[in-house]
Structure 1
Amino acid sequence: MIGSSIHSHGARVSWGRILADNAEELVAMLLLCIIGAVMVAQVFLRTLLGSPLSWPEELSQFLFVWCSVLGATGAAKRLALVRLGAVADSLPLGLRKGFDYLVLLLVLAVLAVLGWYGWSLMSRTSFSFATLPFTWAWAYAAAPALAVLMGLRLIQLQVFKRRFVFIETVIVPPGTPEQETSA
């Protein structure tokens, strides 16, 4: 039930909070499962029946673009992307906070440029996939989506000091060897 709560690191956390904090990763996992199922079906049809489908490769490419965007957003909120930790850690606490905000502003600026160019490319594109009934604009929409999602998650993390409840802390209980090696 969404309204019920569970324990994560000793604290009670609602399923709604877990779903909100991990929405990108959950959608990416679903898309990866779809990619896997479609490609298994394609291999089966091609190898055993000699009758491959025309669309699985294009669908897989399209979904993989979106999985990458959603995965990058999940990595950003875990601070798992490249960061300037060695520089920041060498600074005094007061300067470190300022440095962290400067880096956030620079990342947001890069995301804004990426989002703008992605939006521009998306809005100019009208050609369709060879086998799928939609245009490449849907694939190019991943760039502005990345800019917005990652920007929001980074602002939540750094400005609003949100402490995300990551799905892996709910699935793997704290103190288990799997949890300790992922830390």
Structure 2
Amino acid sequence: MKVLAWFDEYAEISICVVLMSAMTLLLAVQVFMRYVMGESLSWSEELGRYFFIWLIYLGISYGAREMRHIKIDAALKLFPRPARPWVVILGDVLFLVFDLYVVWTSWTVIERQMMLGQTSPAIGVPMWIVYAAPCVGFALTTARQVQSICWRIKHPDAAHESEV
């Protein structure tokens, strides 16, 4: 249970920190190689790009976990105060539907990439691994949205002040 609790609390942020650190270090080495050593690494920018893609999609899940995604607060103020928590929940449900749509469509792209067997030009990684980032990120976001919706339903009066 402790592993599950740790995963629930720190999974996305830990992976995002590792990816951001690796990407920063990798690109710093590339800059050093290019401008100081006069040689360029052929694979570093591609790998940095792939780290960034995975970082973005896992970051979406972290934002959903923290309930910190962008919302239009001014539109929320148009609703009566007692209805505002339920409007926020409706927004979360719509986001959940979008998450499921992205997981479904990205899975078809992954399957196609696996059939084609395409690899990246510089490092030769199978492209389905790169294309899996939206599927994995939005699958995690789906789980986080379900957690968020359940929490908001149990605590409708405990919503953030900017939301109600």
TM-score of the superposed pair, with normalisation by structure 1: 0.70
CA distance in 1, matches of 2:81, 2:53: 38
Match of 2:161 in 1: none
Match of 1:146 in 2: 137
What is the RMSD computed on CA atoms of the aligned residues? Answer: 2.6
What's the CA shift for 1:97? Answer: 4.0
How many pairs does the alignment contain? 150
Secondary structure in structure 2 of the residue aligned to 1:40: helix
Match of 1:168 in 2: none
Matched, 1:74 2:67: no
Match of 1:83 in 2: 71
CA distance in 1, matches of 2:46, 2:74: 41
What does 1:118-157 align with in structure 2 at a 5 Å threshold? 118-125=106-113, 126-157=117-148
Secondary structure in structure 1 of the residue aligned to 2:67: coil
Match of 2:39 in 1: 51
What does 1:20-35 align with in structure 2 at a 5 Å threshold? 20-35=8-23
One-letter amino acid of the structure 2 residue matched with residue 50 of structure 1: G
One-letter amino acid of the structure 1 residue matched with residue 139 of structure 2: V
Matched, 1:112 2:100: yes
Does the aligned pair in 1 maintain the 2:119–2:126 contact within 8 Å? yes
CA distance in 1, matches of 2:86, 2:24: 44
CA distance in 1, matches of 2:146, 2:80: 23
Note closer, same or farther for the CA distance 1:92–1:111 as it changes in structure 2 (3 Å cut): same
Secondary structure in structure 1 of the residue aligned to 2:123: coil
Q: Which has the higher strand share?
A: 1
CA distance in 2, matches of 1:74, 1:22: 9
What's the CA shift for 1:78? Answer: 2.3
TM-score of the superposed pair, with normalisation by structure 2: 0.78
Q: Which has the higher helix share?
A: 2
What's the CA shift for 1:129? Answer: 0.5
Match of 1:159 in 2: 150
Q: Which structure 2 segments of 5+ residues have no match?
A: 156-164
In structure 1, which of residues 75, 97, 102 is the aligned counterpart of residue 90 of structure 2?
102
Percentage identity across aligned positions?
23
Note closer, same or farther for the CA distance 1:55–1:147 as it changes in structure 2 (3 Å cut): same
One-letter amino acid of the structure 2 residue matched with residue 103 of structure 1: G
Does the aligned pair in 1 maintain the 2:60–2:138 contact within 8 Å? no
CA distance in 2, matches of 1:17, 1:89: 36
What's the CA shift for 1:18? Answer: 5.5
Match of 2:159 in 1: none
One-letter amino acid of the structure 1 residue matched with residue 110 of structure 2: M
Secondary structure in structure 2 of the residue aligned to 1:39: helix
